[in-house]
Amino acid sequence: MTDQKKIIEIRDLHKSYQMGSTRVNVLEGANLSVRRGEFLAILGASGSGKSTLLHLLGGLDRPDQGRVLFEDQDLRDYKRGRLNRFRNRTVGFVFQFYHLIDEFNVRENVLLPAMVGKSVLAWLAGRSQPKRRADELIEQVGLEDRALHKPYQLSGGERQRVAIARALMNRPELLLADEPTGNLDSATGNSILKIFEQLNRAGQTIVMVTHDERIAQMATRAVVLVDGKTVERRVGQPS
């Protein structure tokens, strides 16, 4: 199932944060390449830079040094509009802390990427299709009876599922998930992991950050972030 073509690649990535007078070097020459259809787990201790790396992959931040190549093209060379389209269509991002819009209900939150990608008129002309897709996704993550609820009415696990549905809305080529089960109990976590497994089986490329070894077992491949560098680690083959 895994076709060998690279979808995204990082080369010699450096990223540091300035905090007052001290400089925190988070990534110091990280390398990684993700193939299409792969389920890659990024492991590492807390504070090792996993989220930072994922943000760089999704074009949400810029590296200090090194390159992020999507299909062999450096994100740095993207024009602003192209970068926005990349964030809107090419990647789906599941944040560690959900980041839903409080004023929107579940359905509207899921629809958001489709709305962002279209002008008002284009949206009004062709909204039935994205609406159908949103309803399918909501069903897929098991929230069909919560579709009109606002985020504050949902539990953490339910919010995470909304965030996943939202990330999938525009059928992204690359799904980036930052500890989607980190704040959840193991039962809820397992149900969410199942969703990812199903998606991957259907051909979805997934990069998931976690510090849970058990989850890493499900992935096709795992890398560990140590001292700002990625270390490849063979794990059990997927079933």
Ligand X SMILES: Nc1ncnc2c1ncn2[C@@H]1O[C@H](COP(=O)(O)OP(=O)(O)OP(=O)(O)O)[C@@H](O)[C@H]1O
Tell me which residues touch other proteins (CB under 8 A): 55, 58, 60-62, 80-81, 84-89, 93, 95, 99-101, 103-104, 108, 112-113, 115-118, 120, 123-124, 127
Is residue 153 classed as helix, strand or coil in its secondary structure?
helix
Tell whether residue 204 is a contact of Mg ion (CB under 5 A).
no
- Rounded to a whole number of angstroms, the minimum distance from the CB of residue 220 to ligand X is 21
Q: What are phi and psi of 163, to 5 degrees?
A: -60, -35
- DSSP H/E element including 109: helix 106-116
Taken in order 66, 71, 72, 77, is the CA torsion positive or negative?
Answer: negative
Residue 109 corresponds to which tokens in the numbers above? 């939150």
The residue among 96, 100, 92 whose CA lies nearest residue 47 is 96
Please say which residue, 133 or 211, places its beta carbon nearer to ligand X.
Answer: 211
3-state secondary structure of 24: strand
Closest distance of CB 95 from other proteins, Å? 8
Does position 109 interact with Mg ion (CB under 5 A)? The reply is no
Of 37, 39, 41, 51, the one binding ligand X by CB under 6 A: 51
211, 215, 222, 228: which one contacts ligand X (CB under 6 A)? 211
Query: What is the closest distance, in whole angstroms, from the C-beta atom of residue 176 to Mg ion in the complex?
Result: 12
- Smallest distance, Å, CB 115 to other proteins? 4
Q: Which is nearer to ligand X, 57 or 218 (CB)?
A: 57
Q: How is residue 194 written in tokens?
A: 């199942």
- Distance, in Å, from the CA atom of 66 to the CA atom of 70, rounded to the nearest integer, reads 13
Q: How far apart are CA 10 and CA 220, in angstroms?
A: 19
Q: Which does 146 bind (CB under 5 to 8 A by kind): ligand X, other proteins, Mg ion, none?
A: none
Minimum CB distance to other proteins smaller for 70 or for 95: 95
Nearest to 37 by CA among 207, 192, 191, 178: 207
Reading phi first (left if > 0) and then psi (alpha if -120 to 50, else beta), residue 104 is in beta
Q: Does 101 bind ligand X (CB under 6 A)?
A: no
Q: Among residues 4, 21, 22, 46, which is the contact residue for ligand X, using CB under 6 A? A: 46
51 contributes a contact to Mg ion by CB under 5 A: yes
**What is the distance between the alpha carbons of residues 10 and 113, in angstroms, rounded to a whole number?**
25
Binding residues for Mg ion (CB under 5 A): 51
Binding residues for ligand X (CB under 6 A): 17, 19, 24, 26, 44, 46-52, 96, 211
